[in-house]
Structure 1
Amino acid sequence: MIETSDLNHLPEKITNEIVEANLQGIKVFELHEFYEKNNGRISLVKLNSDEYLADDVFSIGLDKTDFIFKRTVDILVSLVILPFALFIILLACIFVFLNSPGNVFFSQERVGKKSKKFKIYKLRTMTKKHDGSYTKDKDNRLFAVGKFLRKTKIDELPQLFNVLNGDMSIIGPRPERPKYVKESIAENSYFDLRHLVKPGITGWAQVNLPKATPKDNLKKLEYDLYYIKSYTVYLDLKILLRTIKVVLTFNTNL
């Protein structure tokens, strides 16, 4: 591993050592590359209130072929899951209504790809009297059935319709409310790079930080940007398998 952020030129001795190491099959990483591979996230360093330590983060993004393939997979997976999801959603609607009479569905404005706003759909898990702030552990706004739907992620199933209409993907950064997007961009300008791709029902940040709190926002952003930068079909499959594990173990954030 070699740290090169302060180097304009590499000494010949170090250059020869790097070349020799590669010839011997020894992989040499730059520091930021090692950090990414070891931690599964991009290191974002803010030096002061208006200055950042720039990496190659500005080159991230999916190409047109990736977007087309990802959209095709989203549609196929959604159509396969939908018959089973509709049955579960119907049962959940009945239990939600019996447990907390009122609208069984909940919609809210979120920010998607290219900062386009859209309505996200969920099964309602809270009482009507809530201020829309982040949920927290042992949140008293959640009613009994709502807690179960949150733990099992059943409340997220209506978002399959968001996927089918093109606002979301199965996998991607979680979409945030416009208010929080504005606050997050003011806190860290890199946050807007999340909107290079469609938001997802699940994602790399969600499976790595299933019990994330607002204090973990920077780590979540690092995971999200790593996903966009390192996107592969294999990574999507890995996220799906880990999502199943998180749901089955109830290791989720309320």
Structure 2
Amino acid sequence: MAEVYHDLISLLERGFKIRDYTQVYEELLHKVPIQFVGKDFYKYFPFSRSNENKLYIFVQRAFDVVFAIIGLLIGILLLPIILLGNVVGNRGPLFYTQERVGKNSTPFNILKLRSMVVDAEQNGAKWAQKNDSRITKFGMFLRRSRMDEIPQFYNVLKGEMSIIGPRPERPFFVNELSRIIPFYETRHIIKPGLTGWAQVKTRYGASVDDSLTKLQYDLFYIKHRSIFLDFNIFIKTLSTILYYRGQ
């Protein structure tokens, strides 16, 4: 250990920068390596000052309200098409609500357009899979176009969600994942969002491993949260919608 320390000092004296491997990991992959964090929680998570910056919070809330109103107006314009598609391709209730975990682990009911068959989880909660047989044909269109998310602008107006943040998960999966993945509940220190860093950087979460990857990105967002990063996420999300790459 003394030899390693001596070598590091020598490198510093020669002008080399010495950085922790977690810093290099974050800079290269834009996610937090929680599998290597261990017990030194606060050493690795000096969260972004934006989380407590009153100006940032005000600007974000103003953006949330304005964009949510625009989103709901677009939803009203698209409602005739959605109603027709639901009658032909879904055959059942247009909307559905589902309990999700919000900021500070407070539960709330999320509002969405139904994209699965009625009673899709009559045998219990299941991960949504790619090409899931429970998703109707019209429901797949709603998901890929992200139109199924439109009613959530109501949740944004109510202050339960933000436009950008970690996606809210169901209590059943939160309880399961919290037992398996370290620091999973840390993602609840900010409001959940319609879209987020994990959503634009990785695929749809359908397993514990996928949830671990998403958490790494969510913690990176919480740690480096800023107007610039929010704008980056917003642009990437628009690109996903325009090129019909949703799932």
Q: TM-score w.r.t. structure 2 length?
A: 0.87
SS at match of 2:159: coil
Give the distance between the partners of 1:137 and 1:10, measured in 2 at CA.
Answer: 49
Moved more, 243-252 or 231-240: 243-252
1:70 to 56, 60, 65: 60
Give the percent of matched residue pairs that are identical in Structure 1 and Structure 2.
31
State the partner residue of 2:24: 34
Give the distance between the partners of 2:193 and 2:14, measured in 1 at CA.
Answer: 43
CA separation of 1:248/1:19 partners in 2, compared to 1, >3 Å: closer, same or farther? farther
State the partner residue of 2:43: 56
Contact 1:152–1:247 (CA<8 Å) still a contact in 2?
yes
- The answer as to 2:95 corresponding to 1:101 is no
State the partner residue of 2:221: 227
SS at match of 1:109: strand
Moved more, 203-212 or 156-165: 203-212
2:70 to 73, 77, 80: 80
Q: RMSD across aligned C-alpha pairs, in angstroms?
A: 2.4
The within-5 A match list for 1:1-40 is 11=6, 14-15=8-9, 17-18=11-12, 21=15, 28-40=18-30
State the partner residue of 1:184: 177
- The answer as to 2:231 corresponding to 1:237 is yes
- After superposition, the C-alpha distances for 1:32-59 in whole angstroms (9 at most, x for unaligned) are 1111011010001269xxx656463443
- The answer as to 2:112 corresponding to 1:122 is yes
Contact 1:173–1:204 (CA<8 Å) still a contact in 2?
yes
Count of aligned positions = 239
Contact 1:129–1:141 (CA<8 Å) still a contact in 2?
no
Contact 2:72–2:151 (CA<8 Å) still a contact in 1?
no
Give the distance between the partners of 1:187 and 1:46, measured in 2 at CA.
Answer: 15
Structure 1 segments unaligned to the other structure (5+ residues): 1-5
Give the distance between the partners of 1:226 and 1:207, measured in 2 at CA.
Answer: 13
Give the distance between the partners of 1:52 and 1:90, measured in 2 at CA.
Answer: 54
State the partner residue of 2:130: 137
- After superposition, the C-alpha distances for 1:142-169 in whole angstroms (9 at most, x for unaligned) are 1111110011111001100000000000
SS at match of 1:201: strand
CA separation of 1:114/1:89 partners in 2, compared to 1, >3 Å: closer, same or farther? farther
Give the distance between the partners of 1:46 and 1:31, measured in 2 at CA.
Answer: 10
Contact 2:71–2:150 (CA<8 Å) still a contact in 1?
no
Structure 2 segments unaligned to the other structure (5+ residues): none
2:211 to 209, 217, 221: 217
Give the distance between the partners of 2:79 and 2:222, measured in 1 at CA.
Answer: 31
Amino acid corresponding to residue 154 of structure 2 in structure 1: F
* Higher relative contact order (Cα pairs below 8 Å, separated by 6+ residues): 2
1:159 to 152, 159, 164: 152
- After superposition, the C-alpha distances for 1:93-135 in whole angstroms (9 at most, x for unaligned) are 3311232222100110000000000000110111103114221
SS at match of 2:236: helix
How far apart are 1:82 and its partner, in Å? 2.9
1:207 to 194, 200, 210: 200
